[in-house]
A and B are shown apart, each in its own frame.
Chain A
């Protein structure tokens, strides 16, 4: 976007930036505002004697420091490292601002001190070589031209003093000499008093200094103790660290062993389970083959049974025919059996044959019967007794297996028909392989 208004604004801001050093130079260092991290934290009044300012922050380090005049002009500032120290001397007005920043990661402290530039008299005094109070704080580097000016000033001052020394006695009359002497004596006395006072102050200072030295020694002792303590703590910490490392290695070894053992156990268990599974499979196969053999045998037995039934029927028919052909043979045979007839030999054998047939008829006949819903166990027991049967095994899927000895040579179908006619019977089957599905 390029509009005249925007260009004007930009040009104005550039002018303001260009003008900034001049404005800063024009500012008199009176009341300085201190801004830390763009926040105003206090002020420094440079018109007071020995102006200093201290600030401590505990939650954030001092990253930006700005020194502004009361009207907001930026006079100086710096960026400080997040942790560490930064010391600077910033020229402000005719003096200089000495700043010292000490940062930690969780806070920092700031110290500011304003030093007024030494005046021409200080230069004279320093050029002469007299000690001054501000000599230690003055700027260490003095340019050559400044030294020349100072020297000229000293020469001028010496000349003026010499002239005065020559002229003053002429100005004053001899009658004033006595008065001058008195004043001189009073001045000496006053000076002596001041010297005594200075001595006393010096003595006090010496005393204070000795006290401070004692305190300092005590502090040094404490620091030494603290250092020892810190060393001990560091040593203990190292030991702890090594122990922690050893324990960690042990833990790693134990973990590896446990994992190996678990894997071995798992392998053994899996192989055992597989072996068991094979055995069970083999058992199942053998049971299956046995079952098939049994089924075949049952089928064979059934066919034989049918054959026997057919023979029984045939035999019964022959016996009936034989009985019809020889009337009352049993009476004759019992009382006086005929000796010449060939037939009687057959009669005595007729009774055992009949008995044998009956015995054959009494062979077990098994069938399955289902009862109506709600039939009681007692009714079932009564029916089984009525047909002279025996229940074989428990009920399976609603079917009872019953074994009976058929009382006469009537075919099983007739017997089953008679059973079916019972009210409580629902269904009857003769499959002998296994109970029929319902």
Chain B
């Protein structure tokens, strides 16, 4: 069996013999029945490497069987990332399922996850550094409102104030947006990069490319966004389809559907551009919005000039940093 073979290989890669022996002991225990939540927590805490390896190997097997596997580090990282997300759910859900056999429960969770229609956002071009960056952001935005709000900045360069104006938020919601930006800046972005598997050098390369060839990179983002968004947009409630221009206008005029605005506009480039174009008066901008990639989160107090008309290298190069006005430290 492929799974057993891979699992054995991964287990044998443990750094020392003691860890490997411990792993074998836990492996046996993970096949037995766990009767209490406390026992489950203790066992799972000690068996995380085995659980991660098991979930990762099953993800690999799924990718192989669907002809989506390539023997390279990018695919290995993708499998690890998906394995991690599966184990995270298992750790939280499993407590509610005792008594259970942990390995069986994990296997059933994994099987259930992969039996969903289109469970992975897999596209060969999303395996490039910029593709993985976008995928990581969008994947996180599905579960984190902080990341969701930050998408407006990373994709289009919208600051907090602009997001508030674009979405037509009131005072209370504006405060939430600011809080979202703050948390994202402090820890969210870095955690997302770590969990996506982007190394510091890869991010530096991206930054460098954005400095030297901004148009090229933005065109690449513009091309990949539909692939990415069409996959992750399924995370919206099904009653959130694209709206006509008239309905968007009505929604803003009658001041309802705030959640709808955030979710849909962050995950639908076409609707975003349409709404941003329509609300140019509120945004005090004369030029049309367009894709404008930002790698790092907006620094504290930084305000960007909205809708830079020319996205040429000069504005994205060193001069772009100068356009940030520091209102606070």
A65 closest partner in B (C-beta)? B93
**Contact call B76/A1, Cβ cutoff below 8 A:** yes
Please indicate the chain B residues that have their CB under 8 angstroms from the CB of A31 in the complex. Answer: 145, 176
**Contact call A38/B48, Cβ cutoff below 8 A:** no
**Contact call B88/A88, Cβ cutoff below 8 A:** no
Please indicate the chain A residues that have their CB under 8 angstroms from the CB of B87 in the complex. Answer: 17
Indicate if A288 sits at the interface (CB-CB under 8 A): no
Within 8 A of A (CB), among B68-114: 71-73, 76-77, 80-81, 83-84, 87-89, 91-93, 96-97, 109, 112
**Contact call B144/A70, Cβ cutoff below 8 A:** yes
Indicate if B180 sits at the interface (CB-CB under 8 A): yes
**Contact call A74/B84, Cβ cutoff below 8 A:** no
Q: What 1/0 flags go to B270-311 for Cβ under 8 Å of A?
A: 000000000000000000000000000000000000000000
**Contact call A38/B197, Cβ cutoff below 8 A:** no
**Contact call B234/A63, Cβ cutoff below 8 A:** no
Indicate if A170 sits at the interface (CB-CB under 8 A): no
Indicate if A357 sits at the interface (CB-CB under 8 A): no
**Contact call B76/A13, Cβ cutoff below 8 A:** no
Cα A71 to Cα B140 in complex, Å, equals: 9
**Contact call A33/B84, Cβ cutoff below 8 A:** no
Cα A70 to Cα B80 in complex, Å, equals: 25
Indicate if A308 sits at the interface (CB-CB under 8 A): no
Please indicate the chain B residues that have their CB under 8 angstroms from the CB of A35 in the complex. Answer: 143, 235
**Contact call A74/B92, Cβ cutoff below 8 A:** yes
CB distance from B235 to the nearest CB of A (A): 5
Cα A76 to Cα B109 in complex, Å, equals: 15
CB distance from B216 to the nearest CB of A (A): 26
Indicate if B65 sits at the interface (CB-CB under 8 A): no
**Contact call A39/B48, Cβ cutoff below 8 A:** no
Cα A135 to Cα B235 in complex, Å, equals: 39
B201 closest partner in A (C-beta)? A5
Please indicate the chain A residues that have their CB under 8 angstroms from the CB of B71 in the complex. Answer: 1
Q: A5, A9, A88 — which one has the most chain B CB atoms within 10 A of its CB?
A: A9
Given known A-B contacts A1-B71, A20-B91, A90 and B96 have beta carbons under 8 A apart: yes
Indicate if A41 sits at the interface (CB-CB under 8 A): yes
Indicate if B13 sits at the interface (CB-CB under 8 A): yes
Given known A-B contacts A1-B71, A41-B237, A20 and B145 have beta carbons under 8 A apart: no
**Contact call B93/A77, Cβ cutoff below 8 A:** yes
Please indicate the chain B residues that have their CB under 8 angstroms from the CB of A78 in the complex. Answer: 93, 96-97
Indicate if B314 sits at the interface (CB-CB under 8 A): no
Please indicate the chain A residues that have their CB under 8 angstroms from the CB of B268 in the complex. Answer: none
CB distance from B272 to the nearest CB of A (A): 18
Please indicate the chain A residues that have their CB under 8 angstroms from the CB of B72 in the complex. Answer: 1
Indicate if A72 sits at the interface (CB-CB under 8 A): yes
Cα A3 to Cα B71 in complex, Å, equals: 13
CB distance from A412 to the nearest CB of B (A): 99
**Contact call A79/B76, Cβ cutoff below 8 A:** no
B84 closest partner in A (C-beta)? A13
Given known A-B contacts A16-B194, A71-B183, A88-B96, A1 and B235 have beta carbons under 8 A apart: no
Cα A303 to Cα B141 in complex, Å, equals: 122
B105 closest partner in A (C-beta)? A79
Please indicate the chain A residues that have their CB under 8 angstroms from the CB of B73 in the complex. Answer: 1, 3, 5-6
Within 8 A of B (CB), among A28-58: 31, 33, 35, 37-43
Indicate if B147 sits at the interface (CB-CB under 8 A): yes
**Contact call A9/B197, Cβ cutoff below 8 A:** yes
Partner of B88, one of A5, A17, A63: A17
Q: How many residues of B are in contact with the other chain, CB < 8 A?
A: 49
Q: What 1/0 flags go to A52-90 for Cβ under 8 Å of B?
A: 000000010001101010111011111100000000101
Please indicate the chain A residues that have their CB under 8 angstroms from the CB of B156 in the complex. Answer: none
Q: How many residues of A are in contact with the other chain, CB < 8 A?
A: 42
Indicate if A14 sits at the interface (CB-CB under 8 A): yes
Partner of B194, one of A5, A12, A72: A12
Please indicate the chain B residues that have their CB under 8 angstroms from the CB of A90 in the complex. Answer: 96
Partner of A40, one of B49, B116, B180, B263: B263
**Contact call A10/B80, Cβ cutoff below 8 A:** yes
**Contact call A14/B49, Cβ cutoff below 8 A:** yes
Please indicate the chain B residues that have their CB under 8 angstroms from the CB of A18 in the complex. Answer: 45, 48
**Contact call A6/B116, Cβ cutoff below 8 A:** no
Partner of B237, one of A5, A39, A64, A74: A39
A39 closest partner in B (C-beta)? B235
Partner of B234, one of A6, A39, A72: A39
Partner of A79, one of B93, B188, B191, B259: B93
Indicate if B236 sits at the interface (CB-CB under 8 A): yes
Indicate if B244 sits at the interface (CB-CB under 8 A): no
CB distance from B16 to the nearest CB of A (A): 14
**Contact call A71/B77, Cβ cutoff below 8 A:** no
Cα A217 to Cα B160 in complex, Å, equals: 56
Indicate if A2 sits at the interface (CB-CB under 8 A): yes
Indicate if B146 sits at the interface (CB-CB under 8 A): yes
Please indicate the chain B residues that have their CB under 8 angstroms from the CB of A42 in the complex. Answer: 237, 259
CB distance from B140 to the nearest CB of A (A): 6
CB distance from B185 to the nearest CB of A (A): 12
A43 closest partner in B (C-beta)? B259
Given known A-B contacts A16-B195, A39-B237, A79-B97, A6 and B91 have beta carbons under 8 A apart: no
**Contact call A6/B96, Cβ cutoff below 8 A:** no
Indicate if B127 sits at the interface (CB-CB under 8 A): no
CB distance from A248 to the nearest CB of B (A): 38
Please indicate the chain A residues that have their CB under 8 angstroms from the CB of B41 in the complex. Answer: 21
Please indicate the chain A residues that have their CB under 8 angstroms from the CB of B176 in the complex. Answer: 31, 70
**Contact call B145/A71, Cβ cutoff below 8 A:** yes
Cα A13 to Cα B84 in complex, Å, equals: 7
A1-B72, A74-B92 are known; give 20 further A-B pairs, CB within 8 A: A1-B73, A3-B73, A5-B73, A5-B199, A6-B73, A12-B194, A13-B52, A14-B52, A16-B194, A24-B92, A38-B116, A38-B235, A39-B235, A64-B93, A70-B145, A70-B176, A70-B180, A72-B140, A78-B93, A78-B96
Could you pull out 26 A-B pairs where Cβ atoms are within 8 angstroms? Answer: A2-B13, A5-B73, A5-B199, A6-B77, A9-B77, A9-B80, A12-B194, A13-B80, A16-B194, A17-B48, A17-B52, A17-B87, A18-B48, A35-B143, A38-B116, A38-B142, A38-B235, A43-B259, A63-B112, A66-B89, A70-B145, A70-B146, A70-B176, A71-B188, A72-B145, A79-B112
Q: Which 8 A-B pairs have the closest CB atoms?
A: A72-B144, A13-B84, A72-B143, A78-B96, A70-B145, A39-B235, A9-B197, A71-B146
